[in-house]
């Protein structure tokens, strides 16, 4: 999993966690994979324009918890 261009519009915003993700299916191999510390954020979806050239997939983006900061927590020292 990596941080991708479609995530940039959501950086610096306060978003609610929609759900925790524990399993994903890899599109290339159809293999189910277990994942940890991964969530979906409300309304944080790929618009399909940045990389895919305008498709209307509107898929939720997977976020690693390490990339996020809980509201009310200060920056680490």
Residue 75 lies in a domain: no
Residue 33 lies in a domain: yes
Residue 71 lies in a domain: no
Residue 74 lies in a domain: no
| Range of the structural domain that residue 43 is part of | 5-66
The count of structural domains within the chain is 1
* CB atoms closer than 10 angstroms to residue 48: 15
Residue 72 lies in a domain: no
Q: Given this model, what pLDDT does residue 5 score? A: 81
60 against 18, higher pLDDT: 18
Q: Given this model, what pLDDT does residue 54 score? A: 57
Buried b (16+ CB within 10 A) or exposed e, 26-36: eeeeeeeeeee
0.85 exceeded by pTM? no
Measured distance CA(67)–CA(29) in Å, rounded: 26
Burial class, 60, CB count within 10 angstroms (exposed 0-12 / middle 13-18 / buried 19+) = middle
């Amino acid at each position: 999993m990596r941080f991708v261009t479609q995530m940039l519009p959501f950086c610096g915003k306060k978003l609610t966690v929609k759900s925790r993700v524990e399993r994903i299916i890899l599109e290339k191999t159809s293999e189910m994979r277990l994942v940890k510390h991964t969530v979906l954020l409300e309304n944080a979806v790929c618009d399909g324009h940045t990389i895919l050239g305008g498709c209307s997939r509107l898929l939720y983006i997977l976020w690693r918890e390490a990339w996020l900061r809980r509201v009310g927590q200060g920056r680490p020292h």
